[in-house]
Structure 1
């Protein structure tokens, strides 16, 4: 596995090329691809050359967003499918292999079964199209009860449910975005991760939680940097990730506005060191 710089996940307003330069400077192993930037290059040849330059800096691609909204309206979903071939052509030219999205863990109108059927059908279709382009899809379940309990019908908010959805879709190129914060707030332990393999995990996020809140009081957008509080058992979490033989990107996604009070270099030096600790632990 490798440490990955995801500037957006850190709340840092860095453009794509700056992110690449800073990722190399601070010893990250990878950086997130940017589909918008690829489009600005004007051709697949230019995209391939850009990707080669990124590799020359010793960096791998992390994960970009899935360009299709699985829970969007019918019109939004249809239009995204129309636009998808262009996006896949650019991602393929760049050598990107991972795209991801999070699943909204509740709905005001669709009950659990109807929402499940919607996601299974759309996921099966989109996964088949992406498989032809050599792309894997990562699905992120959202754990905090303070979020999934805010609308009429709760939906997927645990690892078990997410894996069952993937199995029901029949897709072989879909896996989990495994986030320590959602793992913790879902009430899961290292035992729940036993048996996972590299094929089951598309991306990994590590975060810590506030020490002054109980598990069911934690807020999705109010987290702490990994290893800060010790509320989340990151040793157990990363031990299971290592045991799975995971080979992909690991990033930090803390949603902490206080990071903006520091210089970018200070933030990235700190984040890189925390990720190196996580990646190195056995």
Structure 2
């Protein structure tokens, strides 16, 4: 496993070259690629130069954002899908191996089954384009009840449901983005994670939860940095990742508004240290 930097999730968005510099300065092992930045580069030479900068700093790519909305209106989805082959080609040229998106866990108009069919069909199309470029697709389920219960028809919001959705889509390059926050708010345990293999996992987010709210009161956009409240069983979660042999990116995504008020170097120093502490079991194993 390697620690991964996603600056936007920490309230300090920067351009990609700056993100590479900050990640190296603070001891991260990787950086999430900014798909928009890569799309804006004018030549393959610039793409290669950015990839070379990443490598020269001893960094790896994390996971980029999928530039296609799975729930967009049909015309919008068709337009985004048509543009995807060119984007995938650029990402592949930069050495990016994975992109990801979240599954909206509710809908006001579509019943569970109709929404399921929509996602299965669209996932198959998107995954096919990405597979042609050698890119994997990660899907993240969203666990907080305060979120998935806000529209008429709840949808996928647990790991078990997400695994079934991926299986129905029938694409071998689709896997799971795991987040301790969604794992906790979905009422899941280490046993649920043991149903996975390392190859099923595309990326991992480590977060904690507020200690003044019950599980079903937690808000999706109000999390805490990993290991700072002890509400979530972080060690149990990481221990399973070690058992499975997962070796991909691990980042913090707390959406904690107060982080934006602090100097970026202070925030990154703290986050890097917290992630290193959380991944200590994996680091010890790699040294043994």
State the TM bucket, normalised to the shorter chain: over 0.9
Contact 2:26 2:268 in 1 (8 A): yes
> Which aligned runs of 4 or more in structure 1 are off by greater than 4 angstroms?
none
- Tell me the SS of whatever aligns to 1:281: helix
User: Residue 116 of structure 2 aligns with which residue?
Assistant: 116
User: Residue 186 of structure 2 aligns with which residue?
Assistant: 186
Alignment root-mean-square deviation, CA: 1.0
Contact 1:105 1:157 in 2 (8 A): yes
- The CA distance in 2 between the partners of 1:274 and 1:281, in whole Å, is 13
User: Residue 248 of structure 2 aligns with which residue?
Assistant: 248
Provide Cα deviations, 1:179-217, integer angstroms capped at 9, x if missing partner: 000000000000110132221100000000011111001
- The CA distance in 1 between the partners of 2:99 and 2:19, in whole Å, is 18
- The CA distance in 2 between the partners of 1:173 and 1:277, in whole Å, is 31
Aligned length: 282
User: Residue 53 of structure 1 aligns with which residue?
Assistant: 53
- Tell me the SS of whatever aligns to 1:27: coil
Q: Any residues of structure 2 matched to 1:34-183 within 5 Å, and which?
A: 34-183=34-183
| C-alpha deviation, 1:122, in angstroms | 0.6
User: Residue 200 of structure 2 aligns with which residue?
Assistant: 200
- The CA distance in 2 between the partners of 1:271 and 1:63, in whole Å, is 18
Q: Any residues of structure 2 matched to 1:254-269 within 5 Å, and which?
A: 254-269=254-269
| C-alpha deviation, 1:111, in angstroms | 0.3
- The CA distance in 2 between the partners of 1:19 and 1:128, in whole Å, is 30
Please report the TM-score for the alignment, with normalisation by the length of structure 2.
Answer: 0.96
- Tell me the SS of whatever aligns to 1:176: strand
| C-alpha deviation, 1:241, in angstroms | 1.3
- Which stretches in structure 2 are left out of the alignment for 5+ residues? 283-288
Provide Cα deviations, 1:75-99, integer angstroms capped at 9, x if missing partner: 1110011111220111011010010
Contact 2:85 2:130 in 1 (8 A): no
- Tell me the SS of whatever aligns to 1:171: coil
- The CA distance in 1 between the partners of 2:13 and 2:129, in whole Å, is 32
User: Residue 216 of structure 2 aligns with which residue?
Assistant: 216
Quick check: 256-265 or 231-240, which moved more? Answer: 256-265
Please report the TM-score for the alignment, with normalisation by the length of structure 1.
Answer: 0.98
- Which stretches in structure 1 are left out of the alignment for 5+ residues? none
Provide Cα deviations, 1:49-74, integer angstroms capped at 9, x if missing partner: 21012111000001111111111110
Contact 1:178 1:205 in 2 (8 A): yes
- The CA distance in 2 between the partners of 1:248 and 1:210, in whole Å, is 27
- The CA distance in 1 between the partners of 2:281 and 2:274, in whole Å, is 11
Contact 1:195 1:244 in 2 (8 A): no
